[in-house]
Amino acid sequence: MVSRDERLRKIHPIRRLLSRPEVGALGGALVIWLSFALVAGDQGFLSLRGTATYLEVAAELGILASVVALLMIAGEFDLSVGSMIGASGMLLVVLSVHLGWNIWLAAVAVVIFAGLAGLFNGVLVVRTGLPSFIVTLATLFAFRGATIALTRLITGRTQLGGLQEASGFDSAQALFASELTLGGANWPVSILWWILITAVATWVLLKTRFGNWIFGTGGDAKSASSVGVPVRCVKVTLFIMTALAAALVGMIQAVTFSGADVLRGELREFYAIIVVVIGGTLLTGGYGSAIGAAIGALIFGMVRQGIVFAGVDADWFQVFLGVMLLIAVLVNHWIRRKALQE
């Protein structure tokens, strides 16, 4: 018998499908949608308005999650995204309301600020070699504290409104917060942002050399480095990207609610990690998907809003979230083991 190259081995299409990271999440999303459709279908969960509300929740988290997924595939965490949302939203409002800047100028300043903050996180992680979990946990608190302290120092308040008076607000609203009324429901433009960013992240991950570098960096940084992958550069770039995604969410929220408060984005850092893991990305890096993260965000949105339709007290939401995280990890673990056998 001629032994064939094992790289040319035929894999059954179903097995190949099951070994995709997002399959578990997709199944989970279907189960959850069906459960709520059965339980709360006549309470408005199936209506277009109901669908729009959970897609909006999913979109804001999904923008964050698909970028966080890339970073986690590269083997790092960014916990500072939660406070980056608060910091960017507040910066936008302080600059354009309190200091009277044009809102677009303020938005450019926010993007530069977020880019620098991401650069700081990234350089700190690759230079010190400390776990990114600790480094960004530190910056999570530092950014939040600085946002509260500086906002109070400059404006004497913790909640700022009146963004609709800023010059350039109308065009900013069109880009960040416009709504399309269709079928009696308002569909926010953030859903488009979510789809766009997930698509770009997926394309980068699967079709570009940078995507290969991300997998290599997270899979085994040493071997990746020895075959010429610029591991440090990949990580720093991704830290900048997560900070920019957080800034985008912060600006979307600031423009949507025509103001900001210093607590915006609280807990989003953990929600982002949770939906990325639900989406099939491994905590250890080297394996995962941006589409999976988007499906994870969809699950989050459906549960978050679905319990209102089902008439369950909000107290139960966190129970659901915890149980789902556990189930997701178990399913992913099981599917991966089955798929990789033999």
Partner 1 sequence: MRCLWISLLFVLGVVCGGCASDDDAGTDTPILRFVFVTHGQASDPFWSVVQRGALDAAQHTGTRVLYQAPESFDLVTMSQLIDAALASQPDGLVVSIPDADALEAALMSAREAGVPIVSINSGGEHSQRLGSLLHVGQSEYEAGYQGGLRLSAMGATNALCINQEVGNLALDERCRGFTDALESQGSSVEMLAVELGDPTESTQRILAALRSDPSIDALMTLGPTGALPCLRALEEIDNPGINFATFDTSPEILNAIESGAILFAIDQQQYMQGYLPVVLLALYHRNENLLAHESLQTGPGFIIRSNVGRLKELTARGTR
Instruction: Determine, following the binding rule CB under 8 A, whether residue 257 of this chain makes contact with partner 1.
Output: yes
Instruction: Determine, following the binding rule CB under 8 A, whether residue 41 of this chain makes contact with partner 1.
Output: no
Residue type, 126: V
For residue 177, CA distances in Å to 108, 121, 170, 244 come to 17, 29, 10, 17
Indicate the residue among 57 and 70 with the shorter CB distance to partner 1. Answer: 57
Min. distance of Cβ 302 from partner 1 in angstroms?
A: 11
Min. distance of Cβ 297 from partner 1 in angstroms?
A: 13
Helix, coil or strand: residue 339: helix
Residue type, 267: L
Which residues within the stretch 204-243 sit at the binding site for partner 1 (CB under 8 A)?
none
Instruction: Determine, following the binding rule CB under 8 A, whether residue 334 of this chain makes contact with partner 1.
Output: yes
Instruction: Determine, following the binding rule CB under 8 A, whether residue 144 of this chain makes contact with partner 1.
Output: no
Which one of 172, 261, 291, 296 is in contact with partner 1 (CB under 8 A)? 261
What the block records as the tokens of 295 is 């499906």
Which residues within the stretch 265-294 sit at the binding site for partner 1 (CB under 8 A)?
266-267
Which one of 60, 76, 78, 269 is in contact with partner 1 (CB under 8 A)? 60
Q: Whole-angstrom Cα distance, residue 93 to residue 75?
A: 34
Cβ(82)–Cβ(140) below 8 Å:
yes
Q: Whole-angstrom Cα distance, residue 226 to residue 132?
A: 22
Q: Whole-angstrom Cα distance, residue 102 to residue 168?
A: 6
H helices present in 156-230, as ranges: 169-176, 190-207, 209-219, 221-226
Provide the mask over 149-168, with x wherever binding to partner 1 is found by CB under 8 A and - wherever it is not. ---x----xxx-xx------
Cβ(308)–Cβ(92) below 8 Å:
no
Binding residues for partner 1, total number by CB under 8 A? 61
Contact residues: partner 1, CB under 8 A: 31, 35-36, 39-40, 43-45, 47, 49-50, 52-54, 56-57, 60, 148, 152, 157-159, 161-162, 185-186, 253, 256-259, 261-264, 266-267, 304-320, 323-324, 326-327, 330-331, 334
